Amino acid sequence: MTWTAPAPADVEGPLTGDDRPILEGYLAWQRSNILNICAGLTAEQLSLRPLPATNLSLLGLVRHLAKVERIWFRLRATQTAEPFYDPILGKDHDFEDIDPAQAEAAVAALVEEWKHSDAAVATMSFDDTFDSGRGPWSLRMMYVHLIGEYSRHNGHADLLREHIDGVTGR
């Protein structure tokens, strides 16, 4: 039987109130969007690079977002993990090393990384700062950055999905 990407559970967050629950909820919604865009596709379809001008695939985006989660939450903000991929493999290893046999594990790894990310910063204040590699950032700014990162890549994913099977607006 061929593995097919499952649909995520619906995510809802507060629309009013303090900034932390709003930003955490909106990041959770953006996170679920990447899985929703991938839902229903086979591992082979997730591995396709349907746009000839780029090396992007949905599987590559899933792998990239897992790496990004680890970098920001557990390497920079809390220094509690090692890099997701060996740096010697290159900065684009997540996009380049695409194999349909990795798809199910890559989706599971992304979901697991979300849990680790949330746990890593659970006791931090949004005003706590860390070295972003470009100077001090607050945890609040990191959430804003991650929401932007997911938004951008979810847009890429929408275009890839449309080229794969014509589905839009997931």
Give the pLDDT confidence score for residue 1 in this predicted structure.
64
- By three-state DSSP, how is residue 131 classified? strand
pLDDT of 85 strictly over 80: yes
Please state, rounded to an integer, the average pLDDT across all residues of the chain.
95
Model confidence at 9, in pLDDT bands (50, 70, 90)? very high
* Dihedral sign for Cα atoms in the order 20, 67, 100, 102: negative
Residue pLDDT, tens place only, 119-153:
999 999 999 999 998 999 999 999 999 999 999 99
Q: What are the tokens at 99?
A: 């194999």
Q: Rounded CA gap, 66 and 153, in Å?
A: 12
pLDDT of 170 strictly over 70: no
* Dihedral sign for Cα atoms in the order 117, 120, 122, 126: negative
Q: Rounded CA gap, 112 and 125, in Å?
A: 23
Angle 134-22-169 from CA coordinates, rounded to 5°: 90
Q: What is the mean pLDDT of residues 109-114?
A: 98
Model confidence at 169, in pLDDT bands (50, 70, 90)? confident
Give me the domains of the chain, ranges plus CATH numbers: 19-165 (1.20.120.450)
Residue pLDDT, tens place only, 21-51:
999 999 999 999 999 999 999 999 999 999 9
* Dihedral sign for Cα atoms in the order 58, 3, 71, 9: positive
Q: Which residue has the tokens 């629950």?
A: 21
